[in-house]
Amino acid sequence: MLLAPSKKALVPFVSVANMMRLVHHVGVEIFLKELTDAIEADFARWPEFDKTPRLGSHSHDGVIELMPTSDGQIYSFKYVNGHPKNMAQGLQTVTAFGLLADVATGYPVLQTEMTVLTALRTAATSAMAARHLAPKSSRTMAIIGNGAQCEFQALAMRAVLGIESVRLFDIDPKATEKALRNLAGSGLETVACTSAQAAIEGADIITTCTADKAFATILTDNMVGSGVHINAIGGDCPGKTELHPDILKRADTFVEYPPQTWIEGEIQQMPKDYPITELWRVVTGETEGRRDPRQITLFDSVGFAIEDFSALRYVREKIRDTQFFEELDMIADPDDPRDLFGMLSRAAG
Amino acid sequence: MLLAPSKKALVPFVSVANMMRLVHHVGVEIFLKELTDAIEADFARWPEFDKTPRLGSHSHDGVIELMPTSDGQIYSFKYVNGHPKNMAQGLQTVTAFGLLADVATGYPVLQTEMTVLTALRTAATSAMAARHLAPKSSRTMAIIGNGAQCEFQALAMRAVLGIESVRLFDIDPKATEKALRNLAGSGLETVACTSAQAAIEGADIITTCTADKAFATILTDNMVGSGVHINAIGGDCPGKTELHPDILKRADTFVEYPPQTWIEGEIQQMPKDYPITELWRVVTGETEGRRDPRQITLFDSVGFAIEDFSALRYVREKIRDTQFFEELDMIADPDDPRDLFGMLSRAAG
C-alpha cells in the first residue's frame, strides 16, 4: 500500500451533504443557539485574535475574498465569493468553504463547506448582537430582503430571543412566498407585506438583507421609529449600503471590526468622526449596549473572520464521534520529512 | 436522493496519492519541463495578473500564508505553511494545498494538494530562471541543502538545461545520502561533498536550499567565482537569508515580485537602492538576462503566487480525461439559489 496516506496526512472534510446532516442531527434551532454562544465566547476574547481586513479580489461581476484569523492556537480562513449576478444563472450569490489549522505545526485539521455554515453563522451573529442591543421584550421582527439569508435570520432570532412574529417584504413576491413556505411549521407567525414601510410596522427588530451591489436605500429616516434595533446585514462591499444616512445620525451604531466596516458597512457613507462602538466591548461589559428604550440601535454587520473561526471551531467539536465527515488525503507525509522525493519515487511502484 | 449534489456543486480534488499518480503518468522530467514552460508562459504575461504580497500569519514556530492571484479569468490561491521545527516531530516543514476558481462566478473549479506540487513548481521556476540566466554551457550544479527540495531541483535542471553532474552538500550527511539514493538511476552523476566550498567547485549553477529560520551565511564572497549562476531558493521569510551581502554586491540580481522579495529575499539585507531586475522583464525580452560570461547572476527566489497559478492551471489541464481526481461536494447548489434554507429543510427527509 505505497499510496496509502498516514493518519497525519488526512484532513477531516465536511461536505455540503454532511453539513446538512449535522445540522439536522443537532437540530436547526439548537445549532443556531449553540453557534450564537460560540461566537459570543470568541467576541468575549476579541483581543486574543490576529485581525486583518479580508483580502478581496474584485472583478467586474463580483469579489472573491480570503478571510483569515488566528487566536494563536488555531488558525482559520474562509474562501467566499459574492457575485450578485450569479442568481440569474441559477448559481449561488455567495459560496464558501473554510479551513482550520494548527498554528504550532501549520497542518490543516478541518475543511468544511461554508455556504450553508455561513448562512447559519451570519444569523447567529445577528442574534448575538440582538441579545445585547434589541429591546428586551422583542417579539416581532421585520425582514426586508427574503433571499438565502432570510429564514436563518428568523429562526436564530426565535431560538435566541424568543421572537414570535416575522413580517416579510421583498421586491420580488416570489422570494417572500418561498420564505413563507419554508417558515410554515416553524412555530413563527409569518406576515407577508407589500412594502418595506408595511413590514417594519410594529417590529422591534428590523433586519435588512438585500443583495444588490449598489448604493440603495432600503430604509429612509421617516420610516424608522424610536426604540427599534436595526440589523443591517446586506452591506458587505464598498459601494453597497442599505440605509439612508439620516438613520445612522439618529442611531447608536455597533460594528464588528472597524477597519473593515469603514470600507464595507453602512458607515462608509458617514464622516470619519461618526461615533461607532465595537460590539465585542459590549459583550465583555466594558461598554453598554442598549441603555434606553427609545434608543435606536444599529448593528452594521459585514461579517468578520472571527465569526467563521467560531463556526469552524463549533463544527469541529460537533463532528467528533460522528459520521458526518470524510477524510481528505491533502497533506504529503513521507516517513522522513526531508524525503518528499523518495515518497514520490516509491509511489511509482 | 435529496442529498445528492448537482454537478455544479462538485469540485475536482487531486489528493496527494493522485498527484503522485499524475506525475508518474506524465513522467517526472516531462512534468517538470512542461511546468517550466507553463510558468514561463505566465511570466510572459505578468502585467495581466493581480499581484499582492502573500498574507502571512506569523507565530513563534512558523508561518501560515495565503497566496492569491488572478489573471481576470481564473483566480488561484495557495495555503502554505513554513514550520522549520516540524521536521524534529516527523512532520513536513512545508505543506500546502491550492485552489482555482472561476472569476466570473466565484465558483471553485479545482482543489489540489500542493506539497508535492509546490516542490515541483519551485524546481520548475528555478529551471525557468536558469534558462535565462545560467551560462549556456552549464553542465554541473551544486546543491547546498539536501532536504525536501533537493532532488526536484536536480531533475528540473537536467530536464530543462541538460545538467549532467550534481555536487551535493548538507550539514547533515544523512540528507546527502538520501539525495544520492534518490538520484541513483536518474542519469545524473552525483558527488557527495564535505563542505559548501567543496560542493561549488566547478559548478556553473549553485543552488542554495537550506531551511533554517535565521540569518545564515551559506555562501561567502570568497567562495563564489565569476561566471556562475546562483539560485537562492532557501530564503522565504523575514530574517532568513543564505548569502553574504558581499556576494550580492558583485552579482546582478533577478527577482519575482519586488514588494515580496524586499521583505523575504536575500535583498532584505541590502540598501533600498540596490539594483534588481524583475525576471518577467527578461522573459518578455524587455531586459537582458545573462549578457557576459564573467557575470555572476543571482535568482533571489522566494516563490510567488503566479507560479502556483501556473502549476494549478497545468494540473487542471493534465487531469482532464484522467482518473486522477475525486469530486468534492463543496458548494451548496439549491435549485433556486435563494432557497438555501429549503435545500437544508429537504435534506432532513
Q: What is the pLDDT of residues A256-270, one digit of tens each?
A: 999 999 998 999 999
Residue B181 in this model has a pLDDT that exceeds 70: yes
Contact A342 B106 (CB under 8 A): no
- Which one is predicted more confidently, B272 or B4? B272
Q: Average pLDDT over chain B, rounded to whole?
A: 93
What pLDDT is attached to residue B2? 44
| Largest separation between any pair of C-alpha atoms in chain A | 75
Around Cβ B286, how many Cβ atoms within 10 Å?
Answer: 10
Q: In percent, how much of chain A has pLDDT > 90?
A: 80
- HSE-CB for B65 with a 13 A CA cutoff: 25
Contact A8 B91 (CB under 8 A): yes
Rounded to 5 degrees, what angle do the CA atoms A85, A89, A94 make? 55
Q: State which H helix or E strand residue A343 sits in.
A: helix A340-346
* Nearby residues of B171 by Cβ (< 8 Å), 6 or more positions away: none
Does the ipTM surpass 0.90? yes
Which of B83, B107, B147 has its CB closest to that of A95? Answer: B107
Q: Any idea which of A56-60, B128-132, B322-326 has the lowest mean pLDDT?
A: A56-60
Q: In percent, how much of chain A has pLDDT > 70?
A: 96
Residue A62 in this model has a pLDDT that exceeds 70: yes
Mutate to test the interface with A, among B1, B8, B13, B16 (most CBs of A within 10 A): B16
What pLDDT is attached to residue B237? 67
Q: Any idea which of A51-55, B169-173, B255-259 has the lowest mean pLDDT?
A: A51-55
Residue intervals of chain A classified under CATH 3.40.50.720 are: 129-304
Average pLDDT over residues B58-74: 94
What pLDDT is attached to residue A174? 95
User: Chain A 30-59, CB below 8 Å of chain B: which residues?
Assistant: 50, 52, 55, 57, 59
Which of A347, A3, A335, A340 shows the shortest CA–CA distance to B152? Answer: A340
* Angstrom distance (rounded) from CA B279 to CA B291: 14
pLDDT band at B239, cuts 50/70/90?
confident
What pLDDT is attached to residue A4? 61
Q: Any idea which of A242-251, B113-122, B192-201, B228-237 has the lowest mean pLDDT?
A: B228-237
At A74-119, the pLDDT tens digits run 999 999 998 988 988 888 888 999 999 999 999 999 999 999 999 9
Long-range contacts of A154-157 (CB under 8 A, 24+ apart): A154/A179, A154/A183, A154/A186, A154/A188, A155/A28, A155/A29, A155/A32, A155/A123, A155/A183, A155/A186, A155/A188, A156/A32, A156/A36, A156/A120, A156/A123, A156/A124, A156/A126, A156/A127, A157/A123, A157/A126, A157/A127, A157/A130, A157/A205, A157/A207
Mutate to test the interface with B, among A16, A118, A166, A188 (most CBs of B within 10 A): A16
Q: Which amino acid is at B241?
A: T
Residue B88 in this model has a pLDDT that exceeds 90: no
Residue A1 in this model has a pLDDT that exceeds 50: no
Measured between beta carbons, the chain A residues lying within 8 angstroms of B347 are 17, 20-21, 24
- HSE-CB for A67 with a 13 A CA cutoff: 24
What pLDDT is attached to residue A221? 83
What pLDDT is attached to residue B117? 97
Helices (H), A236-298: 245-250, 258-264, 279-283
What's domain A129-304's superfamily in CATH?
A: NAD(P)-binding Rossmann-like Domain (3.40.50.720)
What pLDDT is attached to residue B1? 35
| Largest separation between any pair of C-alpha atoms in chain B | 75
Question: Locate cell 489528493: which residue?
Answer: B15
Q: What positions of B carry a catalytic annotation?
A: 236
Contact A150 B341 (CB under 8 A): yes
User: Chain B 194-223, CB below 8 Å of chain A: which residues?
Assistant: none
Question: Locate cell 413563507: which residue?
Answer: A180
pLDDT band at A21, cuts 50/70/90?
very high
Question: Locate cell 446586506: which residue?
Answer: A234
Contact A245, A269 (CB under 8 A): yes
Mutate to test the interface with A, among B213, B330, B335 (most CBs of A within 10 A): B330
Residue B28 in this model has a pLDDT that exceeds 70: yes
Residue intervals of chain A classified under CATH 3.30.1780.10 are: 7-116+306-340
Three-state DSSP class for residue A144: strand
Q: Which of A204, A236, A300, A308 is catalytic?
A: A236
What's domain B7-116+306-343's superfamily in CATH?
A: ornithine cyclodeaminase, domain 1 (3.30.1780.10)
Measured between beta carbons, the chain A residues lying within 8 angstroms of B81 are 101, 105-107
Q: Average pLDDT over chain A, rounded to whole?
A: 93
Measured between beta carbons, the chain B residues lying within 8 angstroms of A101 are 64, 79, 81
Residue intervals of chain B classified under CATH 3.30.1780.10 are: 7-116+306-343
What pLDDT is attached to residue B214? 63
* Angstrom distance (rounded) from CA A313 to CA B184: 47
What pLDDT is attached to residue A212? 63
CATH number attached to the domain at A7-116+306-340? 3.30.1780.10
CATH number attached to the domain at B124-304? 3.40.50.720
Measured between beta carbons, the chain A residues lying within 8 angstroms of B77 are 66, 79
What pLDDT is attached to residue A213? 54
At A296-310, the pLDDT tens digits run 999 999 999 999 999
At B145-167, the pLDDT tens digits run 999 999 999 999 999 999 999 99
* Angstrom distance (rounded) from CA B119 to CA B97: 12
At B280-295, the pLDDT tens digits run 999 999 999 999 999 9
* Nearby residues of A109 by Cβ (< 8 Å), 6 or more positions away: A11, A12, A74, A100, A101, A102, A316
